[in-house]
Amino acid sequence: MNAGGPAARLHIDWTRCDGRGLCTELLPEALGRDEWGYPVAAPGRVRSGRDATDVPLTGAELAAAMDAENLCPLLALRIIRP
C-alpha cells in the first residue's frame, strides 16, 4: 500500500455478512476466510483496528471489489473511497 493510504476500503457490515465467501473468491489477495467462513483481511493489511472491518484495497483490486459489492448476496459490502 502506498504512503498516501489505500486507494479505497472495502467496508464489511458484520451484522449482514453470513460468510458465503463470494468476496473472498473475488479478492483472494485482500481477504481470506476464517474457520467459520467469514471474510478476514489478509494479515499484512491490518495495521490499525479499523482495517479489519474497512479493509484497505489497492487500486488494482477496485474492479474486483465492485463486483463483490454487487454480488454479495446479503448486501454486506460497501466500497469507501477516500
Partner 1 sequence: MDDAMWAFARVSGLLDMVLLTGSVLLGILARSGRPLLAIPRVSVTLLHRNISLLAVVFLVFHVVPLLFDSYAQLNLVDVVVPFLGSYKAFWQGLGTVSLDLMAAVVATALLRRRLGTRTFKAVHWLSYAMWPLAMAHSMGNGTDGTSAPVVAAAIVLGVAVLAAVAWRVSAGFLETAAARRAGNARNGWTRP
Partner 2 sequence: MSAATEIAAMQGGTAAGPAGPRLFAAGAAAGMAAHLAAYGEVPRHGRDWSLAEELEASGLTGRGGAGFGAWRKFAAVDHARRPNRYVPRTGGPVLIANGAEGEPLSFKDASLLHNAPHLVIDGLVAAAAELSAGSVFIYAGAANLAPVAAALAERADARHIALVEAPDTFVAGQASAVVNFLETGRALPRDLAARLAGSGFKGRPTLVHNVETWAHTALVARYGAGWFRTAGTPEDPGTRLVSVTGNVPSEVVLEVPGGAPLDSVLASAGVGSDAVSAVLVGGYHGRWVRPDGVVLSAAAAAGSTPAGGAVRPGAGVLHVLGHGRCGLAATAAMVDYLAGQSARQCGPCMFGLPALADVMGRLAAGTGGPGLVREVERLLALVAGRGACHHPDGTVQLVHSALETFADDVRRHLAGQCQEAAPAGGAVR
Contact residues: partner 1, CB under 8 A: 16, 18-22, 25-26, 35-37, 67, 71, 73-75
| 17 is a site residue for ligand SF4 (CB under 6 A) | yes
Q: What residue 77 binds from partner 1, ligand SF4, partner 2, none (CB within 5 to 8 A, per partner kind)? A: ligand SF4
Neighbours of 73 (CB within 10 A): 10
Could you tell me if 39 and 46 are in contact, meaning their C-beta atoms sit under 8 angstroms apart? Answer: no
Could you tell me if 59 and 16 are in contact, meaning their C-beta atoms sit under 8 angstroms apart? Answer: no
Q: What residue 25 binds from partner 1, ligand SF4, partner 2, none (CB within 5 to 8 A, per partner kind)? A: partner 1
Three-state secondary-structure class, residue 10: strand
